[in-house]
Amino acid sequence: MKIFDVSQRSARNLKQAKARTLLTAMAIGVGAFALTMTLAASNGAQSYVNRLISNNFDPTELLVAKDETIFGRGDNNKPQEYDASFGSISSASGAPIQVKQVTEQDVNKILKYPLVEQVREGVILNVQYVTRPGQKKYIANIQDYSPARNPEILAGSIPKPINNTSLLLPEAYVSALGFKDPQSAIGKELTIAIRKSLSSQIVETGTAPRNLQDAEVIGDKSTVLVPFKVVAVLKSEPAQPGTELSLQISTQAAKNLNDIATAGTSQYRQYTRVNVKVKDGEDKANLLKVQEQLSKDGFVSQSVEETQQFLTQIINVLKTIVVAFGLIAIIASVFGVVNTMYISVIQRTREIGLMKALGMRRKDVSRLFRFEAAWIGFLGGAIGSGLAVVLGTLLNPWITNKLDFGTQKLLIFKANQIAILIVLLVLVAIFAGLLPARKAAKLDPIEALRTE
């Protein structure tokens, strides 16, 4: 019997038992729905991570630190030996943790590596406030501008290289600082107020302030005002989390401000991490060579690829959990298919007897039932995936908005993935139909024809 005839006949047989077929297919559909949604969410998350990486990191750079904690690999549950370079950072829970920091000597050492082109210190610091004449003061934080960042510019432009008096202003500050629109902020001067470290105040005034209020009283002497010119206004970018309220300036300017804030303290010219640009860093071998050298000198490093893997790892764990639930649903549905197919064989025993009497081969009888199972699998896959696509497409704007993902969609459906999923479900259904199909093929035609 030709495949086309078997396929048509099996589809007709299923149509005869519409409710049963549909219910069995729906069991597979539940699994298909869960798996389609998981794949779509994972695509969305992966796309977000990729955007995050491409918008924030230069693939020819390595992130270098002195402490594994920076890359989420350290063990902070046991006592650590004191090192003069320890500095405090905030953990994910907000609690301060001590990490070894990269010193100026370390930076100079790394700069001497033959394959290192440049070392850019990563500076993030809270300034006292930002303001401009006639406007209120606002708290702010400063970040060094990474040339790897690819922000959306609302007005102005980012000079290359960015000079030490230029400032990139987040859009959130435009109206707060009294500008009517982003364009009107371009070229205007802002004042960044930064508090000197208490140690440097003691050196300068000879008086030790008892607390922060006392430091305020010191007034002008405790605060340094630094003027900056707005060269660009940046759109808040979901793929650059943490930059929504960050004023970005050149690395050198950020270092200068950091020096003011940390002069005389143990944090002076110490950095949690530095960005090391590798010569011909597109070549993975060069990155690895530098990483090996860094490791020998007691540094920990992470390439952009490793950062991406680290972020993807979290997504994969979540994906595995949801996929496991989807697979359980599919395994459960396998029993439904087996049951349905057995009932079908029993109900159609005389038909099978007739077909065998008319010379239908065992192989074709078995194939007829396997095709029926395949159709159920296809139907289940199509219904489940179809519903997921429809529901996902409808809910996507709402979810994206809730998660503040900007233009990034959380659910990204890929036709090839859905097609592969449906093919796999068809194969699963065929597998489920094997035993009933075998039973049908082995029926004795004489006995089958006698069946009431």
Residue ranges binding other proteins (CB under 8 A): 1-2, 5, 9, 12, 16, 350-351, 353-355, 357-361, 364, 445-446, 449
Interstrand relation of 86-90 and 96-100 (parallel, antiparallel or unpaired): antiparallel
Rounded to whole angstroms, what are the CA distances from 47 to 146, 154, 270, 324, 410? 21, 24, 34, 22, 9
Nearer to other proteins by Cβ, of 424 and 449: the residue is: 449
Q: Which residues contact 258 (CB under 8 A, 6 or more apart)?
A: 123, 125, 269
Nearer to other proteins by Cβ, of 115 and 354: the residue is: 354
Nearer to other proteins by Cβ, of 12 and 414: the residue is: 12
In whole angstroms, the minimum distance from the beta carbon of 446 to other proteins comes to 6
In whole angstroms, the minimum distance from the beta carbon of 341 to other proteins comes to 18
In whole angstroms, the minimum distance from the beta carbon of 29 to other proteins comes to 24
Nearer to other proteins by Cβ, of 178 and 445: the residue is: 445
Q: Are 57 and 303 in contact (CB under 8 A)?
A: no
How far from each other are the two terminal CA atoms of the chain, in whole angstroms? 27
Q: Are 123 and 130 in contact (CB under 8 A)?
A: no
In whole angstroms, the minimum distance from the beta carbon of 426 to other proteins comes to 23
Nearer to other proteins by Cβ, of 167 and 355: the residue is: 355
- Nearest CA to 32 out of 277, 298, 268, 327 is that of 327
In whole angstroms, the minimum distance from the beta carbon of 420 to other proteins comes to 32
- The residue written with tokens 């004449």 in the block is 133
In whole angstroms, the minimum distance from the beta carbon of 332 to other proteins comes to 30
Nearer to other proteins by Cβ, of 12 and 137: the residue is: 12
Q: Are 291 and 62 in contact (CB under 8 A)?
A: yes
Nearer to other proteins by Cβ, of 144 and 364: the residue is: 364
The span from the CA of 269 to the CA of 227, in Å, is: 22
How many CB atoms sit inside 10 A of residue 9's CB? 16
In whole angstroms, the minimum distance from the beta carbon of 10 to other proteins comes to 12
Q: Are 121 and 274 in contact (CB under 8 A)?
A: yes
DSSP conformational letter for 272: S
